[in-house]
Structure 1
């Protein structure tokens, strides 16, 4: 169902059962999977590769030119996985020669007025809440959530199943399974409620909490903590994901809460 008032370039590749509402604009080098809905006044630019059963709401702009002065018009792409929802006026830039593509996984929710910049990699089942502003080259693991009006600095990594509080300034990497809150942003515990909702057992959650006791509560620096974790705690997929994330962090991870944080909350 393609409305006659929509503009669709004749070379765009539109699968069956795609609905394109009036005044939407679909450019030439675009592919849209079956069952996807494109709302009025949405703009799908060159390089967009949109999966099946997505919803692109009115005013959203997909695969726009990167807001990067180094970009010189090179051929780059934007990938959006199946069943992803992009709400009103969200903007997603395509890649640069650094990575050649921006990637958003399947079953994600990108809420209104959010911006995902060039070369970002967003995993599956992620939620980016209203008005989140994400700079270039950000990596976001599966099931991670960034709450509303947060700003994420370029090259930051947010681990799988992490939860970032609303209004946060994210300058450092946020390890997997954690909650991050306060200003400056710091560790606020394990995201145990989210993990239970996703089927993690109490034993798995307890093991994750024990890992983070070594990192944040025992007085070790990160290198010492990782050595003790690998020596003292049994191997598991969760333990190894945390260890590898911290070991590969280039920006450094968020810190433990300071005494002033604790005092202010008391």
Structure 2
């Protein structure tokens, strides 16, 4: 069986991490799209396992959580009429938790947006932290019970609820509603109101849309299988945490957070699958 060289695998992963689609990567790397897909599956699986094992005992002071929407195969309203829609088709939500100081992605989860996924996500967040933190979420109601079950009283938890105005007629499809203000509500503990914010995790949503073609709006690069969507997210966060040198700290986020001692290369990430 022919095997791609390490340099070629790193080249393909680099293209995927910079937001190229599978077919564009296939054309530029001069390999079969099946080769690109298999590499994504193998490396994505290894990246998820590495994150699960090594992103632990994170010493954080402030954590922000949020969920970002995408869809698999078809939007939820179109799944019933879609031809041969696979299991997992429809709206797909990616839950993320970011350390507001180091910007490390502490935890992520792909699935629905209901209470069951909220509980699973917050249990995972709590298991990765080494100390009491201040936690901020948006006004999504499922966080309230999920945070209580995961942390109990051992958290300073507040919500940031944004107040939106109406969208002008004729602009509702693509224009976001105008944010007219925000309300900060204490839920548990003694959160510092100055640091009740979701700005960093919401900025991370933009990073995800820029670096993963599957999240880009109004294109045909959306995920066709939920499993491959999860593999792409795992690869992205491995690259984002361990390999990308960020402007402010001038090191990787994993080094900034104290869970890595060197800058990972794309070759290192490719070799995880070995």
TM-score range, shorter chain: under 0.3
Length-normalised TM-score, structure 2: 0.26
Bigger share in strand: 1
Bigger share in helix: 2
- Select the structure with the greater relative contact order (CA < 8 A; seq sep ≥ 6): 2
Pick the structure with greater CA Rg: 1
